[in-house]
Structure 1
């Protein structure tokens, strides 16, 4: 089936198998169709269940009746679980539709069938089901989505077209940069101009100060951690990777991507227990060996997901950890990443933060994007970061590394990411004084990058431009960039891929700043939409923070942060675990609206923040930890 052009009378049908809980992609397409004034039907759970087994005659009957009753001309079927399972269901579906002569080519009314799935599933689907009009692997821009569906992008309203124009321009910039290959000529930065460089006395703030004084590029931090079935071989390979990265000189901060059991059962006998991806380090001597192999890089790693304070001390003594990252509510039973309850996790993290404060090491709140992963709105993304920063300062932390994961969710427009970033920075920097400073560390989103390596390279450049537009007037910002490799969506990245990803980042930063200085890219510090979004978001975040401090006597302690979540101040509509415990957080609805995520009512209409906090107070005001 060839791609078709959509008329104003064609109706789309959007459906997924009911066994697949992934809905964000379908919702994003539905919102685009709505903006383009295209008709669509979103299948309910009963119809979705029929798509679980389209080979069953009764299920196929229901599918055909649904298609005909709703006069669906274009079907979009999503399955984002096992690729082979998804393509098998798709093949049976299309076979059944052909048998029932539902397809337009056989005299029916269905003009096109599209499939959305994981990249591997899309590749399989193209080979197995030639009748498909197209596939969606999830990395498409709004314009690319419309073009694939046969819809003229010119049908987008001006407000939407203008909102995504900035994103399209940055991606075009990235494609051109990668096509020219100039990034391959980028050389390592020489940072050895201070006495402690590469020694056990070397500290993050020393390296930042040296870089600022000498007008050097931001520090480059990246994540590495190979996983193999043989633990010893995996650790050996990681040591080799570490030495290669150190010798190349592109990476400034090595983040050890430790395995799940490293985080939860360090220095125990793992036996045959299953282990999550990442390097399975299991002794202090191995950690110390990493530090030695990494010279002169700074080194850091995940916090423990159990015995958090004890693990922080081990990391301090073995790898001279560059900075600690603490997830507070997360990495426990609530997300399946550890054994701690939320309350126990908060208590352990507070003790670990106190320890970090004594050592003088910086602290990174690893929190806001975990809310974003679970459907939280933009207001809560910022609020969670501010709460964590305020508590860190209260506990004695003197330097805060403010991680900001852009493109989360990936439907977020760049103009909204700038608003989120600036509001977060403004509120956290209000805490700054002689004893407290903030280090900005942006990164690309976890699911933003394409599985196509060349497109992912362009996306690295595009998101680097976005990072630089957060504070375009400050050449020293950001101080640290967390570089996500261009193979992140496909496989573990080794040293060569990490190094090239850093080269792209540094080349993009230099080229984009040159274009801005020449007036060839917009000055995003004055962009009217960004300014308006920033002021609106700032007001909303302040409203929620005031409401929290009014409802909870001391929100900056374990019991207080627990109540913030339990009372529903931080919506988590996509929370999978502990939903009963956090029913007020899980009970909210959110949706993407014009590139931002907002809390909405049952009709999909945004709920004003003032009304929302009143509802929290009314339903949960008397809760206790």
Structure 2
């Protein structure tokens, strides 16, 4: 038999929306609800309790706290002889809740900002499960992240899901980081804490003799041993018991992968493809060697059944590469993941990157990335959308940056993400402390709440469609160039061949302006903002197509540029994904 919930706003309070919204959710979870309405007197409410004998009583009051306390005292006296078991919930403003707690009558309290996870734990308790603990050691750990991603709760009837929230966190002092992880866990503001070690740890954790102590704490927390990682794992076992993951390291990536899974149960592996090498200077690994090693780490994560994210495409856009190169590298990264045996692939899509990108162009660019990545899906390869705002997008003015979080989140929610990688409003100024991480996530949740009421279909916009079709066609030309070059040098599978990828960078098939001066890259490409995006240009600043850009290097390699237009049948048809309802 279904549990019966009775509720109202009490006394002189007419604000019944909170109780009504809670009942709307309860109706979908198998409860029988009785809403008595607004401004119900304590006497009438007590009489209804004695008459209808509910299993659960919900009372709301959002006016002057002192007046509310008097009204609640009256209700308590009227119910003092009621002996049947009943769970009692109170909802109100934080100040009203604080006074209601002093009465030692209600079992649980709401202020209206609770997460979906918290609501689900309350409904579970109301059905007879464990009491939802707050700010204490969590009684139950989360399931594997891939299971959570496959069962995200729906937040409207259009198929929109509540994404998991992720945020980077790492402070220059180890103890501050440990304490901050606990504070974030207790807040239940996010689902995934992405731990950020300092550069000394990322490059030299397994080579301590090479560390420069004057750089301790630069870029993250100075973890130096296994026991400190175990402390971080213990620190997150509060509140909603968030997932932990950690940077891959820029050297000894396989050792880092094994250590992170052993100590913090790394939620998934995040590995670069071309980066953390001589290409960006974050390690001294030769480019082809780095790509080979990175693929080996991807294969290791696949062998232990962990999801994998490949940090690749956005690095090109951060260096002002044409949007087409970023799109192609998103596809190649996913292709390599699938070839490496990965079953669950987390595809990261960084918006506002480069920072001058317009909203319509960003949507078109990410739609094409998504379509290409998802074209690889089959029964053994599932992809998940992880969206984030651009690192260079945020103002140094923190108030302006808070608005930018809202704008970016609104746009990204149109893609119905599985994970929202929150970039904190402090990004342009300093690394976020625990309270700033929590605040950024609260801003994001507020936007999601409003977006859950519904969004227009932005993919129906003709301008966005036309941009996407153009980007799609250009991406096919570049993919063909890499394939043709690979076949020319004897590769059987060019898109997954470290030699082909590294040589494509050296010869400028894959290039970015910021790579000039790097010995393993050409760095001769010129790009400019154009029509909201980033395009390759000729020496006079005129936008050029991929066929024009690649004509000279193709001829040098003995390849007829006209072959670039001979598309692989796999990419012969274009259609925008139905992301708002999938």
Q: Same fold (TM over 0.5)?
A: yes
Match of 1:566 among 498, 506, 527: 506
- How far apart are residue 436 of structure 1 and its match? 0.5
1:511, 1:421 → 2: CA distance?
Answer: 23
Match of 1:613 among 530, 550, 567: 550
2:279–2:520 CA contact under 8 A, matched in 1:
no
2:485–2:500 CA contact under 8 A, matched in 1:
no
1:456–1:487 CA contact under 8 A, matched in 2:
yes
Q: Answer yes or no: is 1:272 the counterpart of 2:217.
A: no
Match of 1:330 among 264, 267, 275: 275
Gaps of 5+ in 2: 1-110, 130-137, 560-582
Q: Deviations over 1:439-495 (max 9, x none)?
A: 1111111011111122111110100111022x3xxxxx2010000111111122112
Counterpart position of 2:364: 419
Match of 2:410 among 449, 465, 473: 465
**Greater displacement, 553-562 / 400-409:** 553-562
2:444, 2:395 → 1: CA distance?
Answer: 16
Cα distance change, pair 329–199 in 1 and its aligned pair in 2 (3 A): farther
1:591, 1:250 → 2: CA distance?
Answer: 39
Counterpart position of 1:210: 151
- How far apart are residue 565 of structure 1 and its match? 1.5
2:199, 2:507 → 1: CA distance?
Answer: 30
Match of 2:345 among 383, 400, 407: 400
Cα distance change, pair 606–249 in 1 and its aligned pair in 2 (3 A): same
1:356, 1:593 → 2: CA distance?
Answer: 40
- How far apart are residue 560 of structure 1 and its match? 2.3
2:142–2:242 CA contact under 8 A, matched in 1:
no
Counterpart position of 1:186: 113
1:311, 1:427 → 2: CA distance?
Answer: 30
Q: Secondary structure at the match of 2:309?
A: strand
Counterpart position of 2:466: 532
TM-score, length-scaled by structure 1: 0.64
**Rg comparison, structure with higher value:** 2
Q: Answer yes or no: is 1:489 the counterpart of 2:428.
A: yes
1:427, 1:198 → 2: CA distance?
Answer: 41
**Greater displacement, 502-511 / 197-206:** 197-206
Q: Secondary structure at the match of 2:466?
A: helix
Q: Answer yes or no: is 1:428 the counterpart of 2:370.
A: no
TM-score, length-scaled by structure 2: 0.68
Q: Secondary structure at the match of 2:329?
A: helix
Gaps of 5+ in 1: 1-183, 228-233, 472-476, 517-521
Could you list the structure 1 runs, at least 4 aligned residues long, displaced by more than 4 angstroms after superposition: 191-195, 197-201, 213-216
Aligned CA RMSD, in angstroms, stands at 2.2
2:499, 2:115 → 1: CA distance?
Answer: 46
Q: Deviations over 1:184-224 (max 9, x none)?
A: 963233167699x9867831111122324787621000001
Cα distance change, pair 214–288 in 1 and its aligned pair in 2 (3 A): farther
- How far apart are residue 577 of structure 1 and its match? 4.6
1:249, 1:204 → 2: CA distance?
Answer: 16
2:452, 2:154 → 1: CA distance?
Answer: 19
2:368–2:468 CA contact under 8 A, matched in 1:
yes
- How far apart are residue 271 of structure 1 and its match? 5.6
Counterpart position of 1:293: 235
1:514, 1:273 → 2: CA distance?
Answer: 51
Q: Secondary structure at the match of 2:215?
A: coil
Q: Deviations over 1:88-117 (max 9, x none)?
A: xxxxxxxxxxxxxxxxxxxxxxxxxxxxxx
2:225, 2:245 → 1: CA distance?
Answer: 16
